[in-house]
Amino acid sequence: MSKWIYSIFIAYLLLGIYVLVVAMRIPLLGISVDTTSQKPVITEFYYSTWAQQNNIEKGDLLLTIDGIPAENVRSIQLDSIVRSAKELTFMKTNGDFHSVKVKHKDNPEEFYLQIIFPLFYFVLSLGVAIYLWQRNKDNQLTSLLTLFLLTCSLTYISCGASSRGNLIGEAVISIGIVLCILLFIHFLQFYFRYLHLEWPYLNTKQLYFLLLFIPCCNFIMRINSDFRVITALIYLAIFAVLVLYAIYILLTSYLRTKLAKIRLITIAFITPFLPFLLFFVIPEILGQNPILHAEVAALFLLFIPFSFIFIQVNERLFDIEYQLSRLRYYSTLAFFSALILTTGITILVIDTLSIIQITSVFILIFLVIIASFYIKEQLDFKYRKIIFSSTGNYVHNLYAAVNRMGKAKDQQELLEQFKYEITEKLGTTAFTITTLTEDVPISRGEVNIVNNMTHLLLHDSGEEKIMLIIRHALQKEELLWLELLALYVSMFIDNLKLIEDLISEIRLMKDSNDTQLPWLDKLLWNIIEKEKSILAQELHDTILQEQLHLGRELDVIASSPIIKKDKVLDIREQLLNASKDLREYCENLSPPLLDTFGLQIALKKLIQKVKIRADFLLNAQIERVQFQDATLHLVVYRLVQELLNNAIKHAEATEVSLKLQVINCGFILQYEDNGIGCDIEDLMQSSASMGINGIRERVRAFNGDITITSSHNEGMQIFIQIQEDVESYD
C-alpha cells in the first residue's frame, strides 16, 4: 500500500505541476467568434471587463492569434472560440487595426481564478493528504480519504489546462469529476463497515464501471468534434447523479443512526459540493446560463481540505461536538475579520476590483485567517506552558526542570540535579548548597538577601537544614523561578524521606522475620471497618426495615379477634422475599458456588440472575479458567459482578456483551454495551464512578491493565487483562 501511495503522490505532483504550468504559460481569453463569413467576427466575451479595458468590442474582426491567421487556429475551427493567446490582432468596424498583448496581470479575474486559487488548493490539498496519510499509513480508510482529496484537487486545478484545450487537462478533469465522488462513496462504505453499520446501498465496485464510459466518450469526441458538448453534459450529469446519491446515503444514514460522526461527514461533503452542483452543474445540464461561472462555483471546493481534515480514521473521529463548536467559533471570528479587511481593500481600490475579485479576496482572507487560528492553536498547545518575559522563558523552564528532578531516586541525586538547573538557567556557578544543624533566621522556602548574597532555605527537618547560598543578587523573575523550584525540591525531599523510611521499615521487618507492621494493620483495620459500616447501613435500610414492618403487621393480627388467612399468607410472602434478599447479600459477600463448584458455574449462576433482573439482552461467553492464585477466581467474579451491576443501574442499554477469555497465565475480560455512554472525565467526578473506580482499583491491585472507552450515546467498552505472577509460585 505504501508504494502505491508514494506513486500516487508523485503522479499527483507531476500532473499538478504540468497542468498549472499549462495554465500559467498562456492567459485564458474565452472570446467567442462567428465564422460564417470569411474572417472570424467577435460575438461574445468571457471576461468582458478585460475586453472593455483593451477596447475590444463585439463586431470587431479578428485577424491573427499569436501571429497565426485566426481562421487557421484549431479552437476556432472546432468550437468557434479563442481559448487562449499571448497576442491578438483585430480590425475595428471603422477600419482601424489594433494589437493587444495579453498578460495575466492585466486580467486579475483570470489570474486569481485560473492561477492563484488552483495553486493554493494544490498545495493545501497535498499538505492535508500527507498529514492524514502519515497518521494512519496502513489504514484503508485513510488511503481512500487521501485519494479523494488528491483527486478533487487535481480535477480542480486541471480546469485551467482543460479550458485552454490541453488534452491531458481534459482527460484529467473528465476522469476526476467522476472518480472523486466514487472514491468518497467507497470511503463511506468502508467507514460504515468500521462503525459496524449496515450498508443497504449499492456496492461501490459496481459504480466504478461508470469510469468505462469516459474513455469511450473521449474517443468519440476526438473522432467527431460535434460530440464535444454532449460529452461534457454526460460528464456533468454523471457527476450530479453521484453527488445526489452520496447526499442521499449520508442523509438517510444519519436519520437512521443519529450518529454525530455521520452528521459531520454530511456537513463536510454538502458544504463544498452542493453549491457547485446548484450554481453551475444543474443549470448547465438544463441548458440554462449558470448562476456562477465554473471557476467561481468551484471556489466552494476549497472547503474540502478544511472539512475533511477533521476526519481521522485512527480509532474514531475527533471529538465531533468539540470540533464543530471550535470551527463555528473560528469561522465567526474569521468571517467578521475578513469582512472588515475586504471592505478596507475595496474602499482603497474600488475602481479596479470587480465583484468576483472582491469575493475572491474575501474567501482567500477568510481561509487564511481560519488556517492561522488553527496554526496558532497548535503552537499554543506545544508551548502552552511558556510565558514570555523580558529575561526569558522561566515558567517553561520551571516545568521542564521539575520533570527532570522528579526522576531522582535519592536526595543526593535530587540536589545534584538542582545544582544543574541553577547553573543552566541562572548562568552562574557562584553558589553552594550546605547542610546546617543550627537554627537559621528564615523559614523553609523563604529568600533572604544579605550583603548582596541570596540565601534560601530548601529544607528543614528540625535536626537538619539544607541551605542554598548564591553569592550575588538575582532579578525578580529569577527569584520567582528559584522560589517555585525550591518549593518543589522541598516537597521532593519530604517524599524521598518518607519513601526511605518506609523501605527501611520493610527491610527491618524482613530481616527480623516480623510480619507485624502497625501502619499496615491500621490501614487494613480501617478498610474492614468501612466495609462493615457500608454493609450494616445496607442491611438496616432494607431487610431490617422490612422485618420491623412485618413485626408491626403481626402485632395487628395478634390483637385482632379474627385472623385472616390472606393477611398471614401475604406476610409469609414478604418474609420469604426478605430471606431471599438476605441470601443475595450473603452470596455477594461470599459466593457459595465459587468455592463449591468453581468459577465458571458461579458466573453462569450470576448471569442467569442478571438476565432475569435486567431489561437488556445479555450475550455472555465464559471460558473455563484456572489460576494458581485462588484469589484471582474471586477477582474475576467480582469484576463480572460489578460490570453487570453497572450495566443494570447506569447503562440504559438494550444489548450487553461479556467475554471471558483465557490467555497464557491470565485472562482477558471484555465488556461492551450500546447504552447512553458517558464522558469518562465527567464520570470520574460523579457518584456513578464508584463502581468504575472499584473495578479500576481491583485491576491495578493485581498489576492488570484496564482500558475504558465511551462517549455520549455511543455505549461503553471496557477491556481488562490480568496475568498472575507465576514466578512467586515456583
Which residue from 142, 143, 127, 148 is spatially nearest to 312, judged by alpha carbons? 142
H helices present in 661-726, as ranges:
680-685, 689-701
pLDDT of residue 670: 92
- Give residues with Cβ within 8 angstroms of 480, minimum separation 6: 394
Residue type, 375: I
Answer with the one of 552, 569, 590 that is the final residue of a domain. Answer: 590
Q: Could you tell me if 682 and 630 are in contact, meaning their C-beta atoms sit under 8 angstroms apart? A: no
Which residues sit opposite 432 in a β-bridge?
469
Do 255 and 284 belong to one domain? yes
Do 131 and 82 belong to one domain? no
- Residue 609 domain-assigned (yes or no): yes
pLDDT of residue 383: 54
Q: Could you tell me if 397 and 488 are in contact, meaning their C-beta atoms sit under 8 angstroms apart? A: no
User: Is the overall model pTM greater than 0.85, yes or no?
Assistant: no
pLDDT of residue 245: 92
Residue type, 109: E
- How many other CB atoms are there within 10 angstroms of residue 233's CB atom? 15
Q: What is the largest CA-CA distance in the chain?
A: 133
Do 242 and 164 belong to one domain? yes
Do 70 and 186 belong to one domain? no
pLDDT of residue 387: 40
**Full residue range of the structural domain in which residue 600 is found:** 594-723
CA atoms of 667 and 418, how far apart (whole Å):
45
- Give residues with Cβ within 8 angstroms of 7, minimum separation 6: none
Do 681 and 660 belong to one domain? yes
pLDDT of residue 276: 84
pLDDT of residue 213: 74
Give the tens place of pLDDT for each residue, 109-134. Answer: 888 888 888 888 888 888 877 776 77
Instruction: Specify the DSSP element, H or E, that contains 721.
Output: strand 716-723
Which residue from 367, 281, 273, 260 is spatially nearest to 323, judged by alpha carbons? 260
- How many other CB atoms are there within 10 angstroms of residue 307's CB atom? 19
H helices present in 289-354, as ranges:
294-297, 303-308, 320-348
Q: What is the CATH number of the domain that holds 699?
A: 3.30.565.10
| Number of domains the chain is built from | 5
Do 154 and 267 belong to one domain? yes
Do 558 and 616 belong to one domain? no
- Residue 499 domain-assigned (yes or no): no
Do 207 and 286 belong to one domain? yes
Helical axes 213-223 vs 167-194, angle rounded to 10°: 170
pLDDT of residue 386: 41
Residue type, 265: I
Q: Could you tell me if 632 and 722 are in contact, meaning their C-beta atoms sit under 8 angstroms apart? A: yes
Instruction: Specify the DSSP element, H or E, that contains 638.
Output: helix 631-646
- Residue 219 domain-assigned (yes or no): yes
pLDDT of residue 382: 56
- Residue 495 domain-assigned (yes or no): no
Burial of 30 from C-beta contacts in 10 A (0-12 / 13-18 / 19+): middle
Burial of 441 from C-beta contacts in 10 A (0-12 / 13-18 / 19+): exposed
Do 244 and 380 belong to one domain? no
Which residues sit opposite 435 in a β-bridge?
466
- Residue 497 domain-assigned (yes or no): no
Answer with the one of 265, 292, 313 that is the final residue of a domain. Answer: 313
Q: Is 180 left (phi over 0), alpha (psi -120 to 50) or beta?
A: alpha
Q: Could you tell me if 610 and 671 are in contact, meaning their C-beta atoms sit under 8 angstroms apart? A: no
Burial of 457 from C-beta contacts in 10 A (0-12 / 13-18 / 19+): buried
CA atoms of 188 and 182, how far apart (whole Å):
10
pLDDT of residue 244: 92
- Residue 471 domain-assigned (yes or no): no
- Residue 475 domain-assigned (yes or no): no
Answer with the one of 387, 409, 429 that is the final residue of a domain. Answer: 387
Do 83 and 196 belong to one domain? no
- Residue 188 domain-assigned (yes or no): yes
Do 283 and 344 belong to one domain? no
CA atoms of 465 and 436, how far apart (whole Å):
5
- Give residues with Cβ within 8 angstroms of 490, minimum separation 6: 444, 445, 458, 459
pLDDT of residue 46: 82
Q: How far is CA 721 from the centre of its chain?
A: 27
Do 250 and 164 belong to one domain? yes
CA atoms of 334 and 441, how far apart (whole Å):
58
Residue whose grid cell is 458466573: 603
Which stretches of the chain score pLDDT less than 70? 1-2, 132, 135-139, 218, 220-228, 302, 305-327, 350-354, 356, 380-397, 475-477, 509-526, 529, 584-585, 587-590, 592-593, 595, 681-691, 725-730
Give the tens place of pLDDT for each residue, 14-30. Answer: 988 998 888 888 888 88
